[in-house]
Amino acid sequence: MTGATPKRQGTMQGKQARRPRSAACLSRPYVATNQAPTLDSLQSLLATVQRNERSLKRFQDIELALMGAPDFGQFLEVMLNRLRHDFDLSGVRLMLAEVDDTLRDLIDTAEGIRALDAGLCIAQDAGTFSAVCGDGQLWIGAPRERHAPLFGPRAPASAVVMPLARNGRYLGIIALGSRDARRFSPEMATDFLERFGAVVAVCLENMWNRERLKRIGLTDPLTGLSNRRYFDQRLREEVVRGARYGAPLACLLIDIDHFKRVNDSHGHATGDRALRAASVCMRAQLRVTDTLARYGGEEFAALLVQTEQSWAGTVAERVRRAVARLEVPDDDGAPVPLTISIGLASVDPRDSHDPETLPMRLLGAADAALYTAKRSGRDRVVVASAATLR
């Protein structure tokens, strides 16, 4: 979807004087009159200017907090909670226009984002977003029916809706709602609102790009799975979390059986197809909260959080059987059967006498179990002894 960057919306006729640029966009607007100024009116004007200065300062503080947000969760905390609190709004809503798989996974798994679900939504399709975005200009006044996807049945008395555009592309929409019907009116100046919307758009784009770059550095380009660096990082984090909260962990090391034979007999293109097919198949058997990584070559690693050994064994068998049902075609269309061997190790971090070395020992136990599975005939799951991880 393309369109112009949002423009000021308001009613101005002929050569009417431009409305004052006012930070009171979140307060009542200043209205000029033809009467001679009185002491009361001057005092009222002074009070308005002071309110404007305070509003501008709060805007600047919010903008700085958005620019300095270290991750998407903190960005949303500022947008959906702090902004609402600082300006006494009845609600703040952020609708994202489009989200790719990487960013959707970030939203689904990042800590702190779930608590902000009420203010965050993703447009179901381009039509839904277009209906809310309208002509792409800033909209202000009493809520209309088309904005129900943003506010739901409890619509505010007045609202401002700002499309967020960058380089001709819409990233989303930010909407501010108030219980006061006079708070947001079509007659008010919108300069600072437009500036704020532009800042939010820049911060949102930068946040997405930063997260994408971060993921690229932690992602295997062939399979799209996490890489070894990311897996090792997650393993250390989950060991710390498990020791603190008593959450059991299970680690699977997975090896595609006779993979060299696949490459030698059918070519590396077929081998790459086999790796991609196996990775998609294994990912489908795990939960969103579990981590699956390409650990190296034809070897994969899975980290199952809050999972007892008995259930981890069930999951491992499910993964093994699912891969065994795959038939990857070679360059001539002939099916290439695949099987995998799995080594499983599980632990409750609270039971370990040396938590610092537990990640290395957990991987070592799973690797030893994998070696036993391969030596015992492959296409099987072997569970490591828990005693080795005390």
In 3D space, the residue among 143, 134, 146, 132 whose CA is nearest the CA of residue 96 turns out to be: 132
Residue 22 Cα distances to 9, 51, 160, 176, angstroms = 15, 10, 15, 17
Taking the C-alpha atoms of residue 122 and residue 256, their distance in angstroms, rounded to an integer, is 38
Contact between 274 and 280 under an 8 Å Cβ cutoff? The reply is no
CA 325 to chain centroid: 33
> What is the reported pLDDT for 390?
61
> What is the reported pLDDT for 7?
41
Kindly give the confidence (pLDDT) of every residue in the chain, 390 residues in length, as a single tens digit, with 9 standing for 90 and above.
Answer: 444 444 444 333 333 334 444 444 454 444 445 556 677 777 777 777 777 777 778 878 888 888 888 888 888 889 889 999 988 999 899 988 877 766 776 676 555 455 455 688 888 778 878 888 878 888 888 877 667 778 877 788 999 999 998 888 888 899 999 999 988 888 887 888 888 899 999 998 888 888 777 777 888 999 989 999 999 999 998 998 888 888 899 999 999 999 999 999 999 999 999 999 999 999 999 998 899 999 999 999 999 998 999 999 999 999 999 999 998 999 999 999 999 999 999 998 887 778 789 999 999 999 999 999 999 999 999 999 876 666
- CB neighbours of 262 closer than 8 A, spacing ≥ 6? 256, 270, 271, 274, 336, 338
Question: Which DSSP helix (H) or strand (E) runs through 346?
Answer: strand 340-347
Residue with tokens 């991609």: 276
Taking the C-alpha atoms of residue 355 and residue 332, their distance in angstroms, rounded to an integer, is 51
pLDDT digits (tens, 9 = 90+) for 294-321: 999 999 999 999 899 999 999 999 999 9
- CB neighbours of 205 closer than 8 A, spacing ≥ 6? 166, 171
* Structural domains of the chain sorted by starting position, each given as residue range(s) with its CATH number in brackets: 23-217 (3.30.450.40), 228-389 (3.30.70.270)
> What is the reported pLDDT for 210?
81
> What is the reported pLDDT for 36?
64
> What is the reported pLDDT for 154?
79
> What is the reported pLDDT for 53?
76
